[in-house]
Structure 1
Amino acid sequence: MSQQRKQPIRTCIACRSTSDKRKLLRIVKGTDGHIDCDATGKCAGRGAYLCPVTACFEMARKRRLLDRALKTSLNNDDYQRLQDQFKALIESEVPGLGTVN
C-alpha cells in the first residue's frame, strides 16, 4: 500500500490565503543579499510567498510586506524589477504555478 506524501502548505503574505507551495510564487533574498523571484522554489535564502496574481503583488508593494517578510529595505527600483520578473513568470506559465482557490 502506498502512502500519500503531504504537500507543503504556504501562506501568501498579501492576502493570507494558504495553498500548496508549488502554486505560489516565491520571492527570495539570497545569501548575497540580492532579491529575486524564485521560479524553482529551491534557491537558498529567506523567502516569502505570493499568489501568482498581480493584485497580491500590488498589495505587498503598497503595504511594504516584502520588506517585513525578507527583513530588508526595498526601494522603488527593487520593486519595479521584482514586478517585471513576477509578471514574466506568470506569463511564461511556470509548470506547477497555478491560481489559488
Structure 2
Amino acid sequence: MCVNKQKKVPMRKCVATGEMRPKKELVRIVRSKEGQVSVDLTGKKSGRGAYLSMDKEAVLLAKKKNILSSQLGSAIDDEVYEELLDIIDKGNRQSK
C-alpha cells in the first residue's frame, strides 16, 4: 500500500491584496520588540510579521493606504518600501 504524501504548502495572506498565496511567493515585513521594522527575507526573524505579495502594485497599495503601519502597529519608514521595491525589481530581472 503506497500512499502519496505530498508536502503541504504553507499559505499566507497578503495584507495589501487579501490574496492567499504560498509563503514563498510573499515577503515578510517584521517589527521587532524594540519597534524596528525591517524586511525579513528568511521569514525567521522574531517579532510581529506581515506578509506582502512580491508585486510592485501590492507594495504601492500598502504604502498608499498605510496597511503595514496598521498591521504592525508602528510607523513605516520610506526606506522599507524602497527596499521592497528594490527586491521585487531584482527578482523580476533575474526571472527574465
TM range (shorter): 0.7 to 0.9
Q: Counterpart of 2:53? A: 51
**2:87 is matched with which residue: 82, 85, 89?**
89
Aligned-partner SS, 2:62: helix
- CA contact 1:24–1:49 (8 Å) conserved in 2: yes
RCO higher in 1 or 2 (8 Å CA, sep ≥ 6)?
A: 1
Q: Which structure 1 residue ranges, 4+ long, deviate > 6 Å from structure 2?
A: none
Contact 1:25/1:51, CA 8 A, preserved across alignment: yes
| Aligned Cα root-mean-square deviation (Å) | 2.0
Q: Aligned residue for 2:10?
A: 8
**Residue of structure 1 in register with 2:30 after alignment:** 28
Match of 1:18 in 2: 20
CA–CA distance in 1 between the matches of 2:82 and 2:70? 21
Q: CA deviation at 1:2?
A: 5.5
1:71 matched to 2:73:
yes
Unaligned 5+ runs, structure 2: none
Q: Distance in 1 between matches of 2:26 and 2:50?
A: 10
State how far apart, in whole Å, the 1-side matches of 2:59 and 2:85 are: 10
Q: Work out the percentage of aligned pairs sharing the same amino acid.
A: 31
Q: Which has the larger radius of gyration?
A: 2
Number of residues paired by the alignment? 91
